Amino acid sequence: MILKSQALKLLADDTFVAVFDSVRAEQVKKFLQSSKSDSEAREDAHAMTRALNEFEATLKRVITNEDMRDKRNKER
């Protein structure tokens, strides 16, 4: 299980964010520069981009879920 503190640390780490953005940009570049007949390259780039998006969404979801849980506990 990923903790909020871990997710926050990753999303605040300049090196992590730079690498993450670089990989995402490279995949978009591969997608845009693929030839019309190179559907495999586009599919691979799309799959990688979707995986990166899911990874980022998971980290943000951990933060949001813990924030909501904390808020509910304070209201009780």
User: pLDDT of 14-26, one tens digit each?
Assistant: 999 999 999 999 9
- Per the CB < 8 A criterion, the answer to whether 47 and 31 are in contact is no
Other C-beta atoms closer than 10 Å to the C-beta of 27 total: 19
Can you give 11-34 as a three-state secondary structure string? HHCHHHHHHHHHHHHHHHHHHHHC
Average pLDDT, integer, range 33-58: 94
- Per the CB < 8 A criterion, the answer to whether 33 and 54 are in contact is no
**Predicted TM-score of the model (pTM):** 0.84
Average pLDDT, integer, range 41-56: 95
The span from the first CA to the last CA of the chain, in angstroms, equals 25
Instruction: For tokens 């780490």, name the residue.
Output: 13
